[in-house]
Copies of this chain bind each other. A is one copy, B any other.
């Protein structure tokens, strides 16, 4: 039995109970890829594990060969991947989700943070100040309690710390998983896009990388290049083409 994981949509990182950092990703491409996988494998014995953010568009049909894993923030995506890998041998992993690079580490009012930093100056030798200031900006004492709704009386500073790179986990869990990575940039040359996408592929041992630029995506078209071992193997112009192309290459060549 084949097991395919597809991740869809964009993660949501909480700032407080009502505010959050979201990603503009809609999950539409993942939905199309899912449909292509279902069509391609047809009556075969397989399961699609669909890890989707709550805001992503829902798959067209949810049938018995699909399992849905709703997720919210980056940690919940990692937890879902852990769950899937602990229960199944995963053959294919299409990681089209836009996972947040950052999560909220603190919020602090500007004036109180300025006071905390200026107090530091009296107590520390000049040569250590830069490092000490960096520590405060990373994790200040004056941070507001987590979960409290932020007051709007003052300008605030929001500290964002990097999240773990989800894509780097996949091959660690199973080097035999066929991994499709995605790279989205904004307003770069194709050369630059290819370079960054190749690095993603190399660093994470991707079998394929789909690279695209926000400037070349709108309601009508979705330009993208597909990379394998650092070379462009296909060019696409619509989401449909991308979905078909990835699935054909992934399942067609790797039965």
List residues of A whose CB falls within 8 A of some B CB. Answer: 15, 17-25, 98, 100-102, 105, 110-111, 113-115, 117-118, 121-122, 126, 129-131, 133-134, 137-138, 149-150, 152, 154-162, 184-186, 214
Contact = CB atoms under 8 A, between A and B. Distances in A.
Nearest to A161: B155
A20 B22 contact: yes
A187 to B, nearest CB: 8
The 4 closest A-B pairs by CB, nearest first: A101-B152, A114-B134, A118-B130, A114-B133
Contacts of A122: 126
B160 A158 contact: yes
Given A20-B21, A20-B24, A113-B137, A159 B155 contact: yes
A63 B117 CA distance: 57
A204 to B, nearest CB: 14
18 contacts: A17-B214, A18-B24, A18-B25, A18-B184, A18-B186, A18-B214, A19-B100, A20-B22, A20-B23, A21-B21, A102-B156, A111-B134, A114-B131, A114-B133, A154-B162, A155-B160, A155-B161, A157-B159
Contacts of A126: 121-122
A118 B137 contact: no
Copies in the complex: 2
A156 B114 CA distance: 17
Contacts of A111: 134
A157 B162 CA distance: 11
B19 A22 contact: yes
A19 B101 CA distance: 10
Nearest to A126: B121
A135 to B, nearest CB: 8
A214 B133 CA distance: 36
A159 B102 CA distance: 15
Nearest to A107: B160
Given A110-B138, A159-B155, A15 B20 contact: no
A114 B137 CA distance: 7
Contact of A129 (B121, B137, B158): B121
Given A184-B18, A186-B17, A158 B155 contact: no
A183 to B, nearest CB: 11
A114 B110 CA distance: 14
Nearest to A214: B17
